[in-house]
Structure 1
Amino acid sequence: MTTDLVLDCLEHAIWTRGRDGIEDLTGLVHHTDAGSQYTSFAFTSRLIDAGVDPSVGSVGDAYDNALAESQIGIYKTELIRPGGPWRDVEHVELVTLSWVAWFNTERTHETIDDLTPIQAEEVHYAARNRLRPTG
């Protein structure tokens, strides 16, 4: 994975939020491992410029990646194991794209009161906008 690739992904995420009317990303945390693409000056600067707080895990500390490891477990349990046999890598990539889109938009999550991520985000921004001072 390269810095250019993760920058492109970040730009797409920022653009998507902007398209949906979410311009203020203050308080958002981007957690990664200590890979050079994530610790690069260009990537870190772009996060800060967007108002996103970078959070980089410690090198060699498995507990820093507990959330990612948990997510990988869900991915394997919900898609990879029951979905095979897989024809080839491209087949896995295609179904992974569909699963990620579903997981990030339509799947309810117990940790956010059985809402979908989109519903939880709408509730969050509606409450945040109500609390914002006017004038």
Structure 2
Amino acid sequence: MPDNAVAESFMGLFKNETIAAGSPSPTGPLRTIADVEAITMNYVDWYNNHRLHSLLDHTSPEEFEQASYAQHTGSPPGDAATSKTA
């Protein structure tokens, strides 16, 4: 029998954060399936792209990824950056 602790933990977090004050969810009750779909999509976007993550020095995954790409762009190191082809 599989352990559902991770799924249960995430669902508890989802429920608490979508109804808490200042959450990324819309105001008012959820009346239709479209309301539930919208709040779920907004939460998943926030969770994956905008929440601050302690393992990323308290930056969002999106900011961390942008900083990583910025750090790795530019000229190749060494002679390859300055040499001319004949």
User: Paired residue for 2:3?
Assistant: 62
Higher RCO structure, 1 or 2 (CA under 8 Å, sep 6+): 1
Give the direction of change, closer, same or farther, for the CA distance of 1:125–1:71 in structure 2 (3 Å limit): farther
The CA distance in 1 between the partners of 2:57 and 2:8, in whole Å, is 22
- The residue number in structure 2 matching 1:114 is 58
Q: Tell me by how many angstroms 1:102 deviates.
A: 2.1
Rounded Cα–Cα distance in structure 2 between residues aligned with 1:123 and 1:77 = 31
Q: Distance in 2 between matches of 1:114 and 1:94?
A: 27
Between Structure 1 and Structure 2, the one with more strand by share is 1
Amino acid aligned to 1:62: D
Aligned: 1:72 with 2:11: yes
Deviation at 1:85, TM superposition (A): 2.5
Shift of 1:86: 1.4
Aligned counterparts of 2:68 and 2:47: Cα–Cα separation in 1: 18
Change (3 A) 1:125 1:102: same
Q: Which has the higher Rg, Structure 1 or Structure 2?
A: 2
CA distance in 2, matches of 1:121, 1:71: 23
TM-score normalised over the length of structure 1:
0.39
User: In the TM superposition, what is the alpha-carbon distance from 1:116 to its structure 2 partner?
Assistant: 0.4
* TM, length-normalised to structure 2: 0.55
Give the distance between the partners of 1:114 and 1:88, measured in 2 at CA: 35
* In 2, Cα distance between equivalents of 1:120 and 1:90: 32
Q: Aligned AA for 1:103?
A: Y
Distance change (3 Å), C-alpha of 1:101 and 1:86 = same
- Computed over aligned residues only, the root mean square deviation of the Cα atoms, in angstroms, reads 3.1
